[in-house]
Each structure stands twice: as C-alpha cells, then as structure tokens.
Amino acid sequence: MVHDQTWMMKIALDFYKDLFAGEDRGDLILGRDFWAASDLVSKEENEILCAPFLEDEIKDAIFSCYAEGAPGPDGLPFLFYENFWDLIKHDIVRMFQDFHKGELSLRRLNFAMLTLIPKVDNANNMKFFRSISLINFSFKIFSKVFT
C-alpha cells in the first residue's frame, strides 16, 4: 500500500512512461521516393500553413467552442470570450501573433491536469485506474485553429 503522494506520483508516472514508451524499430528508414509527389505539401499549401493567423480564423475557432462548457484554468468559460470579444480580441490576436513569430512560451499554454479514477472497487494496481485529462482552454483554441 502506498500512502505517500510522492510515491503515488512516481508509480503513476512510471506506469504511463512504460505504457507509452516508443518501440525500437531497428534500422527502418524510409526511402526518398517513399512519398509520391502528389502526397507532398505543395508550395501553395505550405504558404497557407505558414501564414500568420487571421483575426477571423481565431474568432471562428473561439466561437465554435461550446460557450457554456466548463471553465478553463483561468476560471472563464468560452461564453466570456464571446461576450467580451470586442474588448479582448486585440490581446488574443497578439498572443497568436507572438506564437507565429516563435515568441510565445507554449509551456504556459500546453498543460493538462490529470486525475485517476478507479475503474473497480478497491483498485490496487495502476491498470485499475482510468486517467482523466483536463486540458488548458488555450490548447483547445490552438487545436481548432490548426484543424
């Protein structure tokens, strides 16, 4: 039995590191001709992918999220961002511009809060827990813009 939080975290971390560890693929190397020319990103597609974010794209991504859903780590639901868009849009757009220029620390944005929920009574092994992830809202916005 483990009662110490530090040991609980170590057990969980080791379990998931083992579960999601990369597999050794030996000397597998793709040849230069593996992809057909039609499968590659064209110059025009690359320009679109590398273009700065437009305010309308950012707004569409935010407004397409469930407005009355659970608030993010900042305590604000998307409804706040919709209702106050005209007031805060310049700060949000600036954040995306900083990201595009490589000046935004993603460490502040890309995180999740994890918790373990027992799948069975008296769970005593990591296999008997389900992990639940609450992802930062900003990551959701980036995901919507990129898709």
pLDDT, tens only, 44-55: 999 999 999 999
Q: How far apart, in whole angstroms, are the C-alpha atoms of residue 5 and residue 51?
A: 45
146 within a domain of the structure (yes/no) = yes
Task: State how far the Cα of 41 lies from the Cα of 49, in Å rounded to an integer.
Answer: 10
In a domain, 128, yes or no: no
Position 76 in a domain: yes
The answer to whether residue 35 sits within a structural domain is no
Total domains in the chain come to 1
Q: In sequence order, what are the residues at sequence separation of 6 or more whose Cβ sits closer than 8 angstroms to the Cβ of residue 85?
A: 59, 62, 63
Residue 83 placed within a domain: yes
Q: Report pLDDT digits (tens) over 97-122.
A: 998 999 988 776 666 777 889 999 99
Q: Is residue 60 part of a domain?
A: yes
Q: The whole model's pTM is what?
A: 0.57
**Is 91 a domain residue?**
yes
Phi-psi region of 17 (alpha: psi -120 to 50; beta: other; left: phi over 0): alpha
For the chain, residues with pLDDT lower than 70 are 73, 108-111, 135-147
Does a structural domain hold residue 101? yes
Predicted pLDDT at 69? 82
Amino acid making up residue 71: P
Q: Give the range of the structural domain holding residue 64, as residue numbers without chain letter.
A: 52-110+137-147
